[in-house]
Structure formats: C-alpha cells, structure tokens
Structure 1
C-alpha cells in the first residue's frame, strides 16, 4: 500500500496539517502537555529546518499529511533528527511510513555529506526506541551529544547514527 504515499519536501501550504498531526499525537495520544507555542519551530519550518544540511519532509496520502520528519543542521556536518511523527493509522508494516520517512532523511544526509545524525526522544515513545535501534541508531548518553545539539526538556533518551556515504 505504501506506493500510495508520497514523501516530499515540506511546503508552506502544509503548515496547518503538520501542526494538527504533531499536536494531536503529542497531546491526545501521548498526553504530553505541549502546545504549538512551546514549539515555535513548527511556525517557521522553512526558515528553521530547510537551511544548510537541514530539511523537513511530509508523508502524504493524497492531499493528507500523515507523517513528518526533519533534520536540523547543527553544524560540523552533523544534524539532529526532529519531528518524526506518523498518524496512528499509517504506522506499521502495511504503510511503512516511518521507514520511508527515515530512508528519505538518511538519503538526504548522505547527499549533504553529513557524518552523524543525533536524536532525542521521550521515555514514553517505546515503539520509537525499537524503530530507531532496528535502523542502526545506537543509544548514547546525553554527555556524548555535540554541544550544538538542541536538547529538548522532554527528551530523556538519545541516539546517534553514523552516516555512511554511498560510493
């Protein structure tokens, strides 16, 4: 079924759907008390993420945004993986949405000659932990993060992926 999904770069016209998708997952599904005001990056996606080695992608089923992923350029050929969210109905092997989004972001990182991808996540996102580990991310301590990595208050678990450049 995943042939129906389109993974593409974020466009400003996607903003409202991206906001609704992310806030719904955070607030309703995981009961994290976070608002759009707590995440000003979601109001300036193009200028915040789509700079340097960073980018932001959406997974779409027709005109509906069903998933997101972003890479934030943190300098030194390193990026932070942020805003990985997939609508509940599009999770799992039937749609493969998360894998398609992650593959797109890693491919981009390779093209940009990024050497490491770092991420932070909450302790509640246990399925996400398994997903990242299955895709080669190694758990690291917060002290192993680059100084430029933006640690979010809710993040308590951290991962790193060394990006191998395709020949």
Structure 2
C-alpha cells in the first residue's frame, strides 16, 4: 500500500469510492451535486493550502482523506473513506491516512483540526476518539468552519500539544 497526494486525474475513482460508501453502504442522503469539491480538488483543497491524499493497493484507489484549510491555523478533515474490504487493523489504511494528514498539517503550521460526520458512522467516531479527537458541540466550531449539510457530530484535535 502506498499513499500519495491525488488530484482531478483520479476524479472518477474518487467519486466512485466515496459515493458508493456514502449512498450504498451507509444510506447517507448525499449526492455528487452536494459535493462539488470532488470535481474541483485543485481549487477546493490545494489552493487554500490543503491536500487530498489517496491510498493505493495494486494501483487501485482504496482510501481517501482530505484537508480543507479554512484559516491560517485551522483546517477541516474531509473525505475520510476506505473501501469496506480494506478497513480494520489488518490494513491500517485509515490510521496511515490520518497520520500523514496530521504530519502535513503540522508542517503547514496548522494548530487545530476539525471534522464533521454523521452519528450513523459509529466506527468512524470511535476511530477519531482513539486518535485523541474530542467531540464538540456545533456551536463550538470556528465561525469559518466549512459545514457539510448531513453532518451532525463534530470533533476537534489540538495539534499544539
């Protein structure tokens, strides 16, 4: 397995992976139209100082994670998805994706990471808690945090420690 920054040349694979997990696996009522960032990775993620990482096994995209920098010291984690057959301790893809994203964030001077998710994704919430994320109220989010419509659970990780 290897992880690398990816951009719009992987658009079809990214869209297929993410929409399948959201819609088919978890029945999250979200469409491609709700996520225009997936069709403009360069401008949405890279230009403001973020990144979009892909995990590959045998040249196939099996996982993603992205970072949206929304102010000089804070960023939001987005698009953390791993194909069902590659989840879990055996592969540790999610863990490696998160660790690379945190390392990138620290290099770029980001002090706070935030994320939004849906309460339905209990395994994801446990994963973030194991990685020292703390659940916070929506009202505790920075005012410039880029909200996603379906999100109803929010987490924070302080990188200054």
Which category describes the TM-score, using the shorter chain as reference length?
over 0.9
In 2, are the aligned partners of 1:121 and 1:156 still within 8 Å (CA)?
Answer: yes
- Report what 1:110 is aligned to: 106
Aligned to 1:25: 21
* Residue of structure 1 equivalent to 2:129: 133
Does the CA-based 8 Å contact 1:53-1:77 persist in structure 2?
no
Corresponding residue number in structure 1 for 2:37: 41
The reply on whether 1:56 has 2:52 as its aligned counterpart is yes
Task: Please give the secondary structure, in 2, of the residue aligned with 1:52.
Answer: coil
Instruction: Tell me by how many angstroms 1:47 deviates.
Output: 1.1
Contact residue 29 and residue 150 of structure 2 kept, 8 A:
no
Q: CA RMSD in A?
A: 1.1
* CA distance in structure 2 between the partners assigned to 1:145 and 1:123 by the alignment: 17
TM, length-normalised to structure 2: 0.97
3-state SS, counterpart of residue 38 of structure 1: coil
Q: Gapped runs of 5+ residues in structure 1?
A: none
Inter-partner Cα distance in structure 2 for 1:23 and 1:52: 24
CA deviations on 1:35-55 (whole Å, 9 max, x unpaired) are: 111110000011110123311
Q: Structure 1 segments of 4 or more deviating over 3 A? A: none
User: 2:144: which partner in 1?
Assistant: 148
